[in-house]
Amino acid sequence: MTRRPLIPRNATMRPEWKPEHIYAIRYATRPTALRHEHFYGHIDCGDDSMPIDYFVWLIAGQGEAILVDAGFTPEVGARRGDRIHLGSPLEAAEALGYPIAAIKSLIITHGHYDHTGYVHELPAAKVHMQERELAFWVSRHAHKEMYRAILEENDLLELVRRNLSGGVDLITGDAQLAQGVSVHLVSGHTAGMQVVRVVVDDQVVVLASDASHFFENIEADKPFSITHSTPQMFDAFDRAFELASSATAVGQIIPGHDPRVRDRLAPVDPALGLDGRVWQIV
């Protein structure tokens, strides 16, 4: 696993910048989803209702922020159907005090359509993604229907263009992006899936994104239905636990799509007008 120095060449946060808050921004939901859609293989999960939420995350402090993932737009949601878009995650970030100009870095955990939609609205943000992830989406397998169906072509083209202009930090393994913020290649769900570890004071948070869509995936050791490598998905669960653990405690692991996040976290001040859309992790 490649390890890089504390402040890499492509770092965009000031060296003295530190994260102070982490927010979960819920930008869409699909209430009609069923249990059997969310677990891989021959596990009998039944047809009970199991709604899915769609999140991005904002790592914020001192007027600047790192956005983790870029959602999908209302147009893409409408085309794919059955999804209720709740509003632009960038507008939610702005309401929290972090307009587009304040978002210096954009971590893309993986290339699926629900994580890349607003990349084009953040032209000045440095994109951090795994080299292996971008490489897969321009590989000989990318056109296969099972992969192609969960990609947005225009988002991929935007990432390729951004890379050609030097706007993408392609990571090979682990990288420290700022004080207290690091990314870690886990693969499994996709070829180059990465998770994000954030330390705020003595609190450790692992933003698992789709390394674990729901708490139940990681807590019951049951991988999600869409896999690039199922053994790597099990290893990704272990890695997330390891990254969340400090000498004295296990920190929070935040899944990518679980409505139960809303029960476990505190909503932000209702005066912000973000009811039902933003929760504070730290």
Residue 69 interacting with Zn ion (CB under 5 A): no
Closer to Zn ion by CB, 112 or 126: give it. Answer: 112
Least distance (Å) between residue 256 CB and Zn ion: 5
> Backbone dihedral region of 195: left (phi > 0), alpha (psi from -120 to 50 degrees) or beta?
beta
Smallest Cα–Cα separation from 127: which of 80, 175, 82, 91? 175
Residue 133 interacting with Zn ion (CB under 5 A): no
Closer to Zn ion by CB, 155 or 210: give it. Answer: 210
Least distance (Å) between residue 62 CB and Zn ion: 29
Enumerate the H helices of 96-152 as residue ranges: 131-137, 145-148
Closer to Zn ion by CB, 18 or 30: give it. Answer: 30
Residue 114 interacting with Zn ion (CB under 5 A): yes
Judged by CB under 5 A, which stretch of 6-14, 114-122, 145-153, 225-233 contacts Zn ion?
A: 114-122
x/- mask, Zn ion, residues 180-209, rule CB under 5 A, reads ------------------------------
Phi, psi of 170 (to 5 degrees): -90, 120
Question: 214, exposed or middle or buried, with CB in 10 Å at 0-12, 13-18, 19+?
Answer: buried
What's the rounded Cα separation, in Å, for the pair 275 and 239? 33
Least distance (Å) between residue 11 CB and Zn ion: 26
Q: Would you tell me how many other CB atoms lie within 10 Å of the CB of residue 164?
A: 9
Least distance (Å) between residue 69 CB and Zn ion: 8
Judged by CB under 5 A, which stretch of 106-114, 140-148, 166-174, 182-190 contacts Zn ion?
A: 106-114
Least distance (Å) between residue 114 CB and Zn ion: 4
CA atoms within 13 A on the CB side of 110: 29
Residue 169 interacting with Zn ion (CB under 5 A): no
> What are the strands, taking DSSP E only, across the chain?
21-30, 52-61, 64-68, 84-85, 103-107, 126-130, 168-171, 174-178, 181-185, 194-200, 203-209, 252-255, 266-267, 278-280
Identified binder of Zn ion from the candidate list 133, 158, 210, 216, rule CB under 5 A: 210
Closer to Zn ion by CB, 114 or 216: give it. Answer: 114
Least distance (Å) between residue 64 CB and Zn ion: 26
Phi, psi of 272 (to 5 degrees): -75, -10
- Contact residues toward Zn ion (CB under 5 A) are 114, 210
